[in-house]
Structure 1
């Protein structure tokens, strides 16, 4: 710490105090804006000095953000595990209060959470009973995306969505099952599928 310049110390102190306020590891552009700086090049040099000092580390994924050194190994880190999701008929999702370690490349730069799949309605998409899936929190989706849909305010299900005037169709990926059709006000999108993890016994 004694080798830091005053500016580097200011940046490091800011990160210590504010990093948890960012929805994802901040990029240089976001840090420039937050710190009121006009030169990203100057900030890059300061950040590189902090990386060289072992105080922060770059995120090696498409977000290209930075985090405090060792943050990824902290037991309190990870994504929230929010229970089980039906890949079949809707069942009530039971919320859990745990966190799951997820590789950075499996989730997006937006807030995400983890669910465990129950059922076999999405097997033709390679989503099997017992898989853990990573969901980007969102209240909208494009047609064709696989979504977590909350039906009638209480039952959550994982399906591919089709939105038409006057109806929402939730499509399984299992040729033995039929699509489910609802009025638009019966379905609320809770997020979209962005990643998947599986354990082999």
Structure 2
């Protein structure tokens, strides 16, 4: 069952698509729902996407498609349980206007792409193009070091991290080592041990017991400044 805000946002998006064929911007959605920030819009969109009501069209920041919609009953007030859903036709194909919608995510210090260093201390906010982020909660870390250069991760990059405590072998993760230091590495499991692999032949893999390593997130994207 959708929350009232989720229901309102889904209805607003569907109405805009039917009238113009163009998804509303994050700013328009924020104002329509009387929210304080675009981060709230991002969370609502992620929730609707996870529940299968909308989907994002690849490589288009403002391209949302409504897959299904609730009926006209208000959310959480229908007399007989959850509001049923019905399929809706995709919005007519049309040329989407470019957009630069951004959301702000926490920026938590620096993280090593070499020897582990501290992370997750303090927090400022980093504006990020919404198209770079999928569903879920995200934060950013500034990369320090060169041990992941063969994966295209350079010193000074901003690593965009999806918060999670689970990961599959071969994924690039933020690993908290012994509860004190965090590092950005490939995660692999080998003979009862956790192996954190660099992407630079000049560095050796790091081996730990499972109890010494806690996954704090997975790499979702990168931002790079050019000077």
Normalising to structure 2: TM-score of the pair?
0.62
Q: Does 1:158 align with 2:204?
A: no
- Distance between the aligned counterparts of 1:114 and 1:155, measured in 2? 16
- The counterpart of 1:91, out of the listed 117, 123, 146, is 117
- Distance between the aligned counterparts of 2:132 and 2:42, measured in 1? 19
* 1:130-187 C-alpha deviation (Å, 9 max, x unpaired): 0001111111111100000000001000000101342000000111110000001000
Q: Does 1:138 align with 2:184?
A: no
Contact 1:24 1:111 in 2 (8 A): no
Contact 1:29 1:40 in 2 (8 A): no
- Distance between the aligned counterparts of 1:164 and 1:23, measured in 2? 36
Query: Which 4+ runs in 1 deviate beyond 4 A?
Result: none
| Alignment match, 1:193 | 219
Q: Structure 1: state its 5+ residue gaps.
A: 1-6, 49-59, 61-71
In structure 2, relative to structure 1, the CA distance for the partners of 1:103 and 1:40 (3 Å cut) is farther
Q: Structure 2: state its 5+ residue gaps.
A: 1-6, 13-31, 55-68, 76-81, 92-97
Please report the RMSD computed on the Cα atoms of aligned residues, expressed in angstroms: 3.6
SS of structure 2 residue aligned to 1:121: coil
Q: How far 1:121 sits from its partner (Å)?
A: 0.5
- Tell me which protein shows more helix as a share of its residues: 1
Q: Does 1:103 align with 2:137?
A: no
